[in-house]
């Protein structure tokens, strides 16, 4: 019995050591991810990038938020009199740009709901492996003021994914805002990019190495590179 128990403990130890240091999206099924795994996936994985931008705008306070986002093509940017105190300008704004249409990101968000006891496993996991018709990229940050100043149509026309190999630009088919409880403040922006070309082929080929996301934000661009060859889970390429 002692020999059997020792063998079992050794097997468990070997398995644990084999998993240690490996990416959780490859090392174990998502049903076994813990909070530390989710932290790595949601914020430090090939599917999620933190982007720091020097703030060139003055953050809005709630009373300054316009009733509707401004379409920059038809209305000038607000003057300093329309904004919060000038002393608020400067510093860095932090943004997370996440490729949330992937199985890995959807599984991580579902697992977080389960660990937080907000949804049952059956409910949370039911759509994790469901194919989606678009690549979905989400942008959220500490200061979303620049998105208050433009509408979804502006971003749909000016944001894009650019492929390094072909230089092709893919424009979003749709952009949506998620708003806070006040109904005005923008908390997240979702960009939907078609995953098929007009001819029916993949809009991002398996040979592609990098897709750069670019989005105008204030007077600069929010940009980050997604390394396609690294966006792979235990089942294969995952976009």
SS3 labels along 72-110 = CCCCCCCCHHHCCCHHHCCCEEEEEEEECCCHHHHHHHH
Distance CA 94, CA 220 (A): 14
Given a contact cutoff of 8 angstroms between Cβ atoms, the answer to whether 104 and 187 are in contact is: no
Residue 27, exposed/middle/buried by CB under 10 A (0-12, 13-18, 19+)? Answer: middle
pTM of the model: 0.80
Given a contact cutoff of 8 angstroms between Cβ atoms, the answer to whether 24 and 40 are in contact is: yes
pLDDT number for residue 20: 45
Distance CA 44, CA 100 (A): 13
Mean pLDDT over residues 84-110, rounded? 82
Distance CA 99, CA 136 (A): 6
pLDDT number for residue 88: 53
pLDDT number for residue 65: 41
Asked if the model's pLDDT at residue 117 lies above 70, the reply is yes
Tokens 């949370």 identify what position? 124
190 vs 63, residue with greater confidence: 190
């Amino acid at each position: 019995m002692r020999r059997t128990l020792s063998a079992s403990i050794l097997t468990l130890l070997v398995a644990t050591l084999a998993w240690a240091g490996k990416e959780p999206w490859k090392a174990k099924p998502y049903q076994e991810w813990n909070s530390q795994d989710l932290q790595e996936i949601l914020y430090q994985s090939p599917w999620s990038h933190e982007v720091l931008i020097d703030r060139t705008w003055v953050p809005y306070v709630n009373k300054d938020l316009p009733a509707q986002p401004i379409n920059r093509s038809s209305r000038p940017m607000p003057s300093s009199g329309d904004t919060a105190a000038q002393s608020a300008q400067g510093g860095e704004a932090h943004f997370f740009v996440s490729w949330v249409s992937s199985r890995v990101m959807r599984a991580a968000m579902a697992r977080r709901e389960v660990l937080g006891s907000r949804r049952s496993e059956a409910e949370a996991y039911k759509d994790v492996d469901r194919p989606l018709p678009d690549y979905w990229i989400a942008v959220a940050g500490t200061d979303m003021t620049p998105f208050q100043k433009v509408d979804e149509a502006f971003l749909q026309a000016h944001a894009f994914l650019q492929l390094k190999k072909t230089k092709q630009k893919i424009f979003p088919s749709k952009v949506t805002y998620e708003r806070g409880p006040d109904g005005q403040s923008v908390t997240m922006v979702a960009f939907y990019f078609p995953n098929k070309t007009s001819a029916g082929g993949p809009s991002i080929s398996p040979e592609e190495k990098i897709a750069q996301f670019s989005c105008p934000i204030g007077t600069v661009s929010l940009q980050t590179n997604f390394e396609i060859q690294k966006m792979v889970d235990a089942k294969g390429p995952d976009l």
